[in-house]
Copies of this chain bind each other. A is one copy, B any other.
Amino acid sequence: MRTLRVMTNRRTQFVDVTAAVEKEVKASGITQGVCYLYVPHTTAGILINEHADPDVAADMEAALDRLAPRNGPYRHSEGNSDSHIKAGLAGASQIVFVEGGKLALGRWQGIFFCEFDGPRERSLHVKVVADSAR
A49 touches B93 (CB 8 A): no
Residues of A43-89 at the interface with B, using a CB-CB cut-off of 8 Å, are 47-50, 53, 55-56, 58-60, 62-63, 66-68, 72-78, 81, 84-85, 87-89
CB of A94 within 8 A of CB of B92, answer: yes
Contact flag A85-B97 (CB < 8 Å), given A49-B42, A50-B42, A106-B40: no
Contact between B38 and A95, CB atoms less than 8 A apart: yes
Q: CB < 8 Å: which of B41, B99, B129 contacts A34?
A: B129
**When the two chains form their complex, are residues B97 and A76 in contact, meaning their CB atoms are under 8 A apart?**
no
C-alpha spacing A94/B68, complex, angstroms: 22
Whether A84 and B49, one on each chain, are in contact in the complex, defined by CB atoms closer than 8 angstroms, is yes
